[in-house]
């Protein structure tokens, strides 16, 4: 079928964007729409941070657009992290919606993030799956990175399952382990960078949301039970995650500081998504796949590599799929009570 294509929320139709001099980033190439016929297409780089916030009506428009393209009405949203996108292949009777065909939606630019929403069934349970997320280091503000969470809420999702690939800072962790997130440190928020900045719309949530117990303890308990049932209890941990801005990996000095803070796993996502989900009243569960070790020593041979991170995710596909599927089934049964 033929759809309009949107880049960073701007309609692209041939050489036109929106006809009033807007600019867009297309596969890393900046294109600026001419204001008049005499003006040439210019190479001005589009700064995604210029369009940080979405109004309630805009997000409702996105939700309505998605609902018009699928018959499913899921209650559970899933965000798939780097190297974990293959879990989406397990969905049945799926409707695939590429980000660039969704009005007002940004695009994924990172390897390992396909860039589409999938409505389908995971072991018989309807879910809305985000195959590819948005990162601060891609040039998007945190409000835009976490915008899909609010769309999930407006579509009808009451629960969020967020996954990510992370570096293991806790010396007890090994590559391939799974860390259930019991808490996080919002270090970007320390510097005043928060997805909830700006005018608050009470239709989403309160001005000052409480982040204590952001990760539902009942779901954490159930995840540990599931881990034992599927034989991965020795590979399962519970810990604290921190989101850094990226895209560079951490220095040794930074890792030493983070260990003092009590950080167990280090990544570049999830925290702003969970913050947004809690703000709009969603119940949250999240976990990190440990894809590399963060060793705070100068003479170590452990160096993180993005390709290796993607590979570890693929090697744990069956285990992660089984765990997520069982969590989805549990949530589904709880919602039916």
Q: pLDDT tens digit string along 176-185?
A: 999 999 999 9
Q: How far apart are CA 318 and CA 63, in angstroms?
A: 31
Q: Give, as one character, the DSSP assignment of residue 48.
A: G
Mean pLDDT of 104-108: 91
pLDDT band at 113 (very low <50, low <70, confident <90, very high): low
Q: How far apart are CA 66 and CA 70, in angstroms?
A: 7
Instruction: Convert the pLDDT of each residue in 289-318 to its tens digit.
Output: 999 999 999 998 777 777 777 788 888 988
Percent of the chain's residues with pLDDT above 70: 84
Does 184 share its domain with 74? yes
Does 57 share its domain with 157? yes
- C-alpha neighbours within 13 Å on the C-beta side of residue 314: 8
pLDDT exceeds cutoff 70 at 19: no
Does 184 share its domain with 210? yes
Nearest to 148 by CA among 290, 245, 9, 287: 9
Rounded to the nearest 10°, the torsion over CA 226, 161, 28, 114 is 50
pTM higher than 0.75: yes
- C-alpha neighbours within 13 Å on the C-beta side of residue 274: 29
Does 136 share its domain with 14? no
Does 157 share its domain with 187? yes
Does 54 share its domain with 36? no
pLDDT exceeds cutoff 90 at 39: no
Cα separation values, 193 from 99, 190, 215, 275, Å: 25, 7, 21, 12
Does 260 share its domain with 114? yes
Instruction: Convert the pLDDT of each residue in 123-160 to its tens digit.
Output: 999 999 999 999 999 999 999 999 999 999 999 999 99
pLDDT band at 1 (very low <50, low <70, confident <90, very high): very low
Q: How far apart are CA 252 and CA 274, in angstroms?
A: 28
Does 112 share its domain with 207? yes
pLDDT exceeds cutoff 50 at 30: no
Q: How far apart are CA 324 and CA 80, in angstroms?
A: 11
Does 128 share its domain with 197? yes
pLDDT attached to residue 109: 81
- C-alpha neighbours within 13 Å on the C-beta side of residue 98: 10
pLDDT attached to residue 301: 79
Q: How far apart are CA 224 and CA 30, in angstroms?
A: 47
pLDDT attached to residue 41: 31
As for how many domains the chain has, the answer is: 2
Rounded to the nearest 10°, the torsion over CA 10, 11, 16, 21 is -30
Rounded to the nearest 10°, the torsion over CA 92, 60, 331, 329 is 0
Q: How far apart are CA 90 and CA 244, in angstroms?
A: 31
Last residue of a domain, one of 16, 31, 46: 46
Does 98 share its domain with 170? yes
Alpha helix positions (H), 26-94: 56-67
Mean pLDDT of all residues in the chain? 86
pLDDT band at 112 (very low <50, low <70, confident <90, very high): low
User: Please, is 52 exposed, middle or buried when counting C-beta atoms within 10 Å of its C-beta (0-12, 13-18, 19+)?
Assistant: middle
Q: How far apart are CA 96 and CA 117, in angstroms?
A: 6
Contact 97, 298 (CB under 8 A): no
pLDDT exceeds cutoff 60 at 32: no
Q: Give, as one character, the DSSP assignment of residue 156.
A: T
Nearest to 274 by CA among 306, 247, 240, 248: 240
Does 135 share its domain with 261? yes
Give the domain extent around 18.
1-46
Does 21 share its domain with 158? no
- CATH number of the domain residue 243 falls in: 3.40.50.1580
pLDDT band at 85 (very low <50, low <70, confident <90, very high): confident
């Amino acid at each position: 079928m033929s759809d309009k294509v949107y880049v960073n929320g701007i309609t692209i139709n041939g050489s036109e964007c929106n006809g009033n001099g807007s600019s867009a980033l297309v596969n890393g190439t900046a294109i600026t729409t001419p204001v008049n016929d005499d003006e040439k297409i210019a190479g001005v780089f589009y700064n995604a941070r210029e369009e940080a916030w979405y109004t309630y009506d805009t997000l409702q428009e996105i939700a309505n657009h998605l609902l018009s393209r699928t018959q499913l009405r899921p209650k559970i949203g899933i965000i798939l992290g780097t190297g974990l996108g293959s879990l989406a292949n397990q969905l049945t009777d799926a409707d695939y919606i590429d980000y660039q065909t969704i009005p007002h939606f940004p695009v994924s630019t990172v390897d390992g993030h396909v860039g589409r929403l999938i409505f389908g069934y995971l072991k018989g349970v309807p879910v809305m799956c985000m195959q590819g997320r948005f990162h601060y280091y891609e040039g998007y503000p945190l409000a835009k990175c976490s915008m899909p969470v609010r769309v999930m809420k407006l579509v009808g999702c009451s629960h969020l399952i967020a996954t990510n690939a992370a570096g293991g800072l806790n010396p007890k962790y090994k590559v391939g382990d799974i860390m259930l997130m019991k808490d996080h440190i919002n270090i970007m928020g320390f510097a005043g960078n928060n997805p909830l900045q700006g005018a608050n719309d009470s239709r989403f949530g309160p001005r000052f949301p409480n982040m204590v117990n952001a990760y539902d303890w009942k779901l954490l308990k159930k995840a540990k039970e599931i881990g034992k049932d599927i034989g991965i209890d020795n590979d399962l941990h519970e810990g604290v995650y921190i989101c850094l801005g990226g895209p560079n990996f951490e220095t040794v000095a930074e890792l030493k500081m983070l260990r003092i803070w009590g950080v167990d796993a280090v990544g570049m996502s999830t925290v702003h998504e969970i913050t947004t989900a809690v703000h709009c009243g969603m119940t949250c569960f999240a976990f990190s796949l440990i894809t590399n070790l963060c060793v705070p020593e100068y003479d170590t041979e452990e160096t993180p590599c993005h390709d290796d991170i993607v590979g570890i995710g693929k090697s744990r596909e069956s285990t992660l799929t089984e765990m997520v599927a069982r969590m989805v089934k549990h949530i589904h049964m709880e919602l039916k009570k």
